[in-house]
Amino acid sequence: MTGKQASERGIGGAAETAQMLGKVEQLRDQIRRHDYLYYIEARPEISDRDYDLLLDELRQLEQQYPPLVTPDSPTQRVGGAPLADFKPVRHSVPMLSIDNTYSEQDLLDFDERVRNSLGVKGVTYVLEPKVDGVAVSLRYEKGVFVRGATRGDGEIGDDITENLRTIKSIPLRLHGKDIPDVLEPRGEVYWPHKDFEAFNRKREEEGEPLFANPRNATAGTLKQLDSRIVAKRPLRFVAHGFGEITPFKCKRHHEIMDALGKWGVPIFPHIQPVEGIEQAIEIIRAWKTKREKSDYATDGMVLKVDRLDWRDDLGKTSRYPRWTVAFKYEPDRAWTKLQDVKVQVGKLGTLTPVAVLEPVLLAGTTVSRATLHNYEQIERLEVMIGDTVAVEKAGEIIPQVVLVDKDKRPKDAKAIERPTKCPECGGPVSAGEDEAVCIRCMNFECPAQFKERLRSFAGRNQMDIEGLGPARIKQLVDSGLVKEVGDIYRLHEPDRLGRLLQLERAGETSVDNLLKAIEESKARPLHRLLAGLAIPHVGVHVADVLTRHFGDIDALMAASQEALEGVNGVGAVVAESVHKFFHSNAGRHIIQELRDVGVSMADTRRKAAGGGEAPLAGKSIVVTGTLPTLGRKEIEELIRDMGGQATSSVSRKTSFVVAGEEAGSKLDKAKSLGVEVIDEAEFLKRIGRK
Ligand code: IVH
């Protein structure tokens, strides 16, 4: 938009408008550049916080001058009102799939077919990872993202533009020279491994059913009609092909990929042309182990003829192009017997089926348990007790049951029923909104749930009580010594102590240490306590946000649902859950009990013990390299506890950097910006630990 156009749309005076527009465009350019550095080059120059500040500034300006908002503004990635349905989109060029092979012989045969049919001696190929994601086609017109669609049946897909807009690695506007009028990059949307595991851990903490694997979770996410849900999930995109390109200038696949990369579309980092099939096979063999290091799940490699004119000559069969083939690695998989299905009761009552297996060797470890995720999964697999099942380990993810060999089913195989009561306490179960997947025990007093709640209460990121692990908790609860959370803090009272000492394996010194750890935990900052209360949807992160906003427990307990919803980072679901907890008898009772026994409930990050400022209040700190004693999570938690903020990248606003062994680019950056660098010992001194 030009200043003149903006003023025609009724925005202020011409001069003011031009000035605003200039500022808005400048901010957008800055944000786009940082998106590019972060998502494509993987070398951010500013911290997440500084990035958020830029985005906030832009958001405010756009709120002041709504006509300046354009669909390609970085603020438009948060998602909008839910759609009623996805519109169909006809692909300008059909979106085909590829034929899979599992053997090297198939690759040799493929190469021979290609050479014979072209009548040439040697072929240059490109090799790319085969990303286990969901195929999509993007469309840019004059460099602006206008539409994105799923493959569908190859001719017609679903218009999922609004969902794709929220994916930050998909540029909303391209940059650079010679951008074609129409450009359709095609590729995979995927959920990076590490983010997926972290996301699932958070879901577990918050009592939500777990996603089975990144691919299904990605597919499920892209099918959401409410793009705001998509915006909260860290999906990414990588290009591996193209649809329409007008005008069209390239002669080879790798040239197109290079050009896409230059325009800001994410591509694979090292695509090199390879001469002949032998070299290709070597690379494929080497990648089998290397692939574990990449951030996406890859189950194979895709071999493609590089020359585009040869692709045209080769053509396609009824289903697949003749110029490409996908080689899939055999997954690490083992067959064994399903002996039983146990039900695990989570801290919020979620019932999770777990397969008990005849022990079997899988990728170097003996596996005797595997997850079945939920009852929908059991029904999908049509699995029965006694069946021969395949277990697989995908990346670092826990083993899971993936297949059933029904031909081997014994006559006495037993069906696996959905529980109609809690297998632990016999209490009633219910199925909520997520009924198909999630069955819950509704008895708040269920001992299994209570044990899990205690486990989470005593956990490292919560009240951090050493010595209060699952075995001890079982003992304490089963013996009746601990009936409610507050009882933990009464274990030192004479009559309880006597009974505790009589319990098997509770030696005097270990009881001593336990009581000491329990006593120390009373001083934990409020956000850790909150994270340990098993309030649905409240994990460490939400607890931190709430504590920063309300400061103390009374203010939080008194907050209305609207006030809770008004907190940046707290959605309606979380607000409702927190409000409900603090207005329930059980919730209020827990707080009262803990207050009575002397749990501090203060936000010690604001005020240090002596009543002064917390030692790291207002400081933004980056940790890099390996430290002599503190783990990464540990030091970050310390920083937060002491009132500071742990950020991931160094900028001028970084207060100081804590560096250890093998500190890399962040240390260099700190030095070049003149940011102070200290070691672990100095850090501990500053927080008064040494
Ligand atoms: S090329 C004309 N390259 O795997 C076919 N596909 O199992 C163009 N996939 O349908 C596809 N990584 O959705 C290509 N590097 C890659 C890929 C890739 C993943 C997907 C794609 C394809 C499916 C086949």
Give the pLDDT confidence of 208-219 residue by residue, as tens digits: 777 877 888 899
Q: Which atom of ligand 1 is nearest to the CA of 321?
A: 2
CATH of 333-435 given 3.20.20.70, 3.30.70.120, 2.40.50.140, 3.90.950.10: 2.40.50.140
User: Residue ranges per domain, the chain?
Assistant: 3-68, 100-328, 333-435, 447-521, 526-605, 620-686
Question: How much is the average pLDDT of 531-552?
Answer: 89
302 touches ligand 1 (CB under 6 Å): yes
452 touches ligand 1 (CB under 6 Å): no
Q: How far is the CA of 208 from the centre of ligand 1 (A)?
A: 32
Distance CA(291)–CA(127), nearest Å, equals 13
101 touches ligand 1 (CB under 6 Å): no
395 touches ligand 1 (CB under 6 Å): no
Percentage, residues of the chain above pLDDT 70 = 94
Strand partners, 521: none
Name the pLDDT band for 104 (thresholds 50, 70, 90): very high
241 touches ligand 1 (CB under 6 Å): yes
Name the pLDDT band for 441 (thresholds 50, 70, 90): very high
The highest-confidence range among 327-331, 508-512, 653-657, by mean pLDDT, is: 653-657
> Which residue among 96, 100, 126, 131 is best mutated to probe the pocket of ligand 1, counting the most ligand atoms within 8 A of its Cβ?
131
Q: What is the CA radius of gyration of the chain?
A: 29
Residue 247: asked if its preceding bond is cis (omega within 30°), the reply is yes
Segment 588-630, tens digit of pLDDT = 999 999 999 999 887 766 544 444 567 888 788 999 988 998 8
pTM above threshold 0.85: no
Indicate which residue's Cα is closest to atom 7 of ligand 1.
98
- Characterize 125-143 residue by residue with b for buried, 16 or more Cβ atoms within 10 angstroms of its Cβ, and e for exposed: bbbbbbbbbbbbbbbbeeb
- 130 catalytically annotated: yes
How many other C-beta atoms lie within 10 A of the C-beta of residue 288?
13
Provide CATH code, domain 100-328.
Answer: 3.30.470.30
Asked whether the predicted pLDDT for residue 662 surpasses 50, the reply is yes
CATH of 620-686 given 3.40.50.10190, 3.50.50.60, 3.40.718.10, 2.40.50.140: 3.40.50.10190
Is 3-68 assigned to CATH 1.10.287.610? yes
303 touches ligand 1 (CB under 6 Å): no
Joined tokens for residue 28: 């957008």
636 touches ligand 1 (CB under 6 Å): no
Which is it for strands 124-131 and 273-275: parallel, antiparallel or unpaired?
antiparallel
Is 303 or 503 the better-scoring residue by pLDDT? 303
Indicate which residue's Cα is closest to atom 22 of ligand 1.
97
Would you identify the CATH topology of the domain 526-605?
DNA polymerase; domain 1 (1.10.150)
Segment 366-385, tens digit of pLDDT = 889 998 988 888 999 999 99
Q: Which atom of ligand 1 is nearest to the CA of 135?
A: 13
Question: How much is the average pLDDT of 314-319?
Answer: 86
Q: What is the pLDDT of residue 11?
A: 53
* Same fold across 100-328 and 620-686: no
488 touches ligand 1 (CB under 6 Å): no
Lowest mean pLDDT: which of 99-103, 149-153, 232-236, 275-279? 99-103
Mean pLDDT of the chain: 88
Would you identify the CATH topology of the domain 447-521?
DNA polymerase; domain 1 (1.10.150)
Segment 135-182, tens digit of pLDDT = 999 999 999 999 999 999 899 999 999 999 999 999 999 999 999 999
Angle at 291 between CA 630 and CA 372, to 5 degrees: 80
On whether the CB atoms of residues 427 and 444 are closer than 8 A, the answer is no
Q: How far is the CA of 372 from the centre of ligand 1 (A)?
A: 29
Segment 572-583, tens digit of pLDDT = 889 999 999 999
- The 3-state DSSP class for residue 317 equals coil
Which is it for strands 656-659 and 676-678: parallel, antiparallel or unpaired?
parallel
Pick the catalytic residue from 4, 23, 87, 130. 130
Segment 455-469, tens digit of pLDDT = 999 998 899 999 999
Name the pLDDT band for 643 (thresholds 50, 70, 90): confident
Name the pLDDT band for 362 (thresholds 50, 70, 90): confident
Segment 410-420, tens digit of pLDDT = 999 999 999 99
Q: Which atom of ligand 1 is nearest to the CA of 97?
A: 10
Q: How far is the CA of 477 from the centre of ligand 1 (A)?
A: 53
Segment 385-429, tens digit of pLDDT = 999 999 997 655 678 899 999 999 999 999 999 999 999 999 999
- Characterize 28-45 residue by residue with b for buried, 16 or more Cβ atoms within 10 angstroms of its Cβ, and e for exposed: bebbbebbeebbbeeebe
